Structure 1
Amino acid sequence: MKYSTLMIATLLAAGLATTAGAQTLKKVADSNKITVAYREASVPFSYLIGSTKSVGFSVELTEAIIDDVRKKIKKPNLEVSYMPVTSQNRIPLLVNGTYDLECGSTTNNSTRGKDVAFAVNHFYTGTRLLVKKSSAIKNYADLAKKTVASTTGTTNSQVIRKYSTDKKLDMQIILGKDHDDSLLLVENDRAVAFAMDDILLFGLMANSKNPASLEVVGDALQVEPYSCMLRKDDPEFKKLVDGTISRLMKSGEFSKLYDKWFMSPIPPKGVNLNLPMSAELKANLKAASDKPAL
């Protein structure tokens, strides 16, 4: 059978509409399975200890959401599948239905909001630099004509590239496929600095081979919120996810989780990041806002 261009367009539109209209809770209930994403190197939000177990602040948020999904769809034996994602593939794999929820270290911004939805913001951070102490680099001006690392698919790689252009610093930007790769570029002297969210840099440094040789420097270029990510046009699932996070914030459980992962020793090395809650996050415990960065 031959299809006209109009017929093909109509079929494609119908397929897209079906995909976009698919509701996560129904999908999960029908299959008795939810697939959630984790990051392999986003300390202390979502990261691996050993070869398979993911842990972290965002992982515990994910588990609380899964518990509420079980109650909502009345399936106490709901199967949970955990899928590793990278900065580069996390959005397309969510959009195409490969997994259902990502709570990691993903910035909630307006550009991404065209493709995905975001829950209540659960952290605020800004781009800074991880360098070797021996490098004598203290701020962005010191990076002129030097090689700087960031991670593929992150807002930070865009921020540092724009900053270099605007300030005519002529940095050479190279990208790791995930944060561990970008850190290695600095440790192996292929880059003089790693531009990334400051909290991730502190976490990576704490668990690096030689933490005493590294430091986080530079002004924060912008403040951005982290948020759990889900598919667009699914108000029922967003209401559930927002409800879980808001409940944790109001009950005090969120603050206890924060203290566990940011103010106490964390695995695998027992390092304490000692990072008090920011003013922005304290305010959002009351506001429960999902407002994106610009």
Structure 2
Amino acid sequence: MAMAMTLPVAAQPTVLSGTLAKIADTGVIAIGYRQGEPPFSFEDADGSVIGFSIDLCRRIVDRIRTELDREDIIVTYVVATPATRFILVKTGAIDLECAATTNNAERREMVEFSFPHFLTATHVMTRRADNIESLQDLAGHTVAAASGTVNIEQLNALNREQNLNIAVLPTKSTAEAFDMVVAGRVSAFVTDGILLAAKIAEMPDPTLYALSTYTLSRPEPYGLLLRRDDAAFKSLVNDSLRAFYGSGDINALYAKWFTAPIPPSGINLNLPMSDDMAEAFREPVEYLQ
């Protein structure tokens, strides 16, 4: 009796969707960045886009090239300000925002976040000569904060709760708010402590400025932004971060940006990795609080 021959079943091609399909079709991934948020995302003296968050995203791009078997995938960089970043992600103008964006429940209604890549709280920057030592000392003063940030929301809430009569001045960027303090146009600037520390360190005389020891929030995580309802892309991003964190290479990358001189001026933040940050890298989990 003749035996029936079983033919091998051809492997079915992977059907791409969402962001990965867009990248495969166009051969381009659009990365959102900030022009002036060292050490996370900023422009070097020659205009090149650099930073801790940018380096993480470049590793994710390498993973995408491997997954799509497309070494020709190119990166385009798009400026994403605190006020525009969410709409740029939602509309597809950028595929991944690689900067310093705080993850919270309200924002997760608009976008998705990757595993955390930093933890920080909201601080206040002032001129040291003004002797401002508490939020209450700013009662009746003008304080700047960038539009579209959690920092301005926190400042407004505390202003109402404590009846401080602070005149809150929204700005387009963190750089604009910082420059207003330097010029004496406002009494303080409220934003993430790590960003303030970096801006102060860049000044010709950092001793002229004070970073508050008090905070307006508990420490919260930064995450990379991506579009909602795109499980395949989110999984790839998080798998890439998990592998990179787990390899131990995150330690060298962290040291490069937080404990060594960084361009363009060679400032050194001298900020060793905290125990909480080390734990977030060792056991990455989604932040859903």
Q: Does the alignment reach a TM-score above 0.5?
A: yes
Structure 2 residues without counterparts, runs of 5 or longer: 1-15
Q: Which digits, 9 at most, give the CA deviation of each residue in 1:237-260, with x for residues without a partner?
A: 111110111111111111111111
Shift in Å, 1:208? 3.0
Q: Which digits, 9 at most, give the CA deviation of each residue in 1:103-135, with x for residues without a partner?
A: 100011110101111110010000011111111
Shift in Å, 1:211? 2.2
- 8 Å CA contact 1:116–1:231 kept in 2: the answer is yes
- 8 Å CA contact 1:39–1:84 kept in 2: the answer is yes
| Cross-structure match for 2:255 | 259
Residue 181 of structure 1: SS of its match in structure 2? helix
| Cross-structure match for 1:205 | 200
Verify: 1:110 aligned to 2:105, yes or no. Answer: yes
* Residue-pair matches, total: 273
Matched residue type, 2:161: D
Residue 156 of structure 2: SS of its match in structure 1? helix
Residue 184 of structure 2: SS of its match in structure 1? coil
Verify: 1:120 aligned to 2:104, yes or no. Answer: no
Shift in Å, 1:149? 0.8
| Cross-structure match for 1:62 | 57
Q: d(CA) in 2 for partners of 1:260 and 1:224?
A: 22
| Cross-structure match for 2:150 | 155
Q: d(CA) in 1 for partners of 2:233 and 2:260?
A: 32
Q: Which digits, 9 at most, give the CA deviation of each residue in 1:147-194, with x for residues without a partner?
A: 111111100000011111111111111022011100011011111111
| Cross-structure match for 1:101 | 96
Moved over 6 A (4+): none
Residue 190 of structure 2: SS of its match in structure 1? strand
Q: d(CA) in 2 for partners of 1:159 and 1:63?
A: 32
TM-score normalised per structure 1: 0.90
Question: Equivalent of 1:183, from 153, 178, 182?
Answer: 178
Shift in Å, 1:22? 5.7
TM-score normalised per structure 2: 0.91
Q: Which digits, 9 at most, give the CA deviation of each residue in 1:188-211, with x for residues without a partner?
A: 111111110000001111123542
Q: d(CA) in 2 for partners of 1:82 and 1:102?
A: 10
Aligned residues: percent identity? 34
| Cross-structure match for 2:29 | 34
Q: Which digits, 9 at most, give the CA deviation of each residue in 1:25-74, with x for residues without a partner?
A: 11100111111111111111001122621111001011101111111111
Q: d(CA) in 2 for partners of 1:128 and 1:287?
A: 27
Q: Which digits, 9 at most, give the CA deviation of each residue in 1:132-152, with x for residues without a partner?
A: 111101121111111111111
| Counterpart mapping for 1:9-88 below 5 A | 23-50=18-45, 52-88=47-83
CA RMSD of aligned residues (A): 1.4
| Cross-structure match for 1:3 | none
| Cross-structure match for 1:135 | 130
| Cross-structure match for 1:16 | none
Q: d(CA) in 1 for partners of 2:45 and 2:188?
A: 27
Verify: 1:225 aligned to 2:213, yes or no. Answer: no
Matched residue type, 2:43: L
Q: d(CA) in 1 for partners of 2:64 and 2:17?
A: 16
| Cross-structure match for 1:17 | none
Shift in Å, 1:285? 1.6
Question: Equivalent of 1:250, from 227, 246, 252?
Answer: 246
Matched residue type, 2:230: D
Matched residue type, 1:154: T
Change (3 A) 1:168 1:51: farther
| Structure with the higher fraction of residues in helix conformation | 1
Residue 284 of structure 1: SS of its match in structure 2? helix
